[in-house]
Amino acid sequence: MNQDSAKKQNLALFDLDNTLLAGDSDYNWSLFLINEGLLDAAAHHERNEQFYRDYQNGDLDIYKFLEFQLKPLSQHPKQFLDALHVKFMTEVIKPMMTQKAQDLVNIHKAQNDLCIVITATNSFVTKPIAAAYGIEHLIGTDPEMIGGEFTGDVSGVPSFQQGKVTRINLWLAERGQQLSDFETSYFYSDSHNDLPLMKLVSQPVAVDADATLTAYAQQHGWSQISLR
């Protein structure tokens, strides 16, 4: 796609957890596995809670978290995990999907904007969620797969903090594009962890934002909305 054709299309980036979703898919996936008897509650619940607090505080060690989060994927066949995810979508995710979020996505799709979910959560968990919102493109943290099965390791750059900048630039470059090609670029997020990418788009939007992002948005005159 050349630059002139990109000018005719805007870019709409959406964070997922606590933005499009009224909750956190990563955190709830671990709780779901515990409830399904696939993770030991005593061993995993406390660590899950601590990682979530670290994320909120902005000091999450992404690689330690991914080691924790991706290991369960390596302990089961992909076919079993796919079936499990269908249940996860029905019981956990669908109740967290809001009509306001869907309406926002629909507005951008109706305008023929290039819509992408960009999330730190692994792409196995999040790809079906993006699809449920009608968003084809997803940039998530990719679990490594060998022979069609998960290894428990991460593949490539985690889509977290500055990593989101790296990943969107790589993704667009594969299409012969860059952020500056788009006349208007939006990024909707709730988290101060997304400030590196929010600072690069022309229309950053704080969505049900945490205190740090709310303060930054107020200081810089960014739009603030709620999808709840």
Active site residue 15: yes
Active site residue 153: no
Q: Please count the CA atoms within 13 angstroms of the CA of 62 that sit on its side-chain side.
A: 18
Q: Which of 4, 17, 59, 142 is labelled catalytic?
A: 17
Cα torsion 195, 197, 203, 208: sign: negative
Query: In this structure, how many other beta carbons lie within 10 angstroms of the beta carbon of residue 156?
Result: 12
Closest CA to 119 of 105, 134, 139, 101: 139
C-alpha dihedral, 192 to 194 to 199 to 204, nearest 10°: -90
| Cβ atoms of residues 22 and 118 within 8 Å | no
Residues assigned a catalytic role: 15, 17
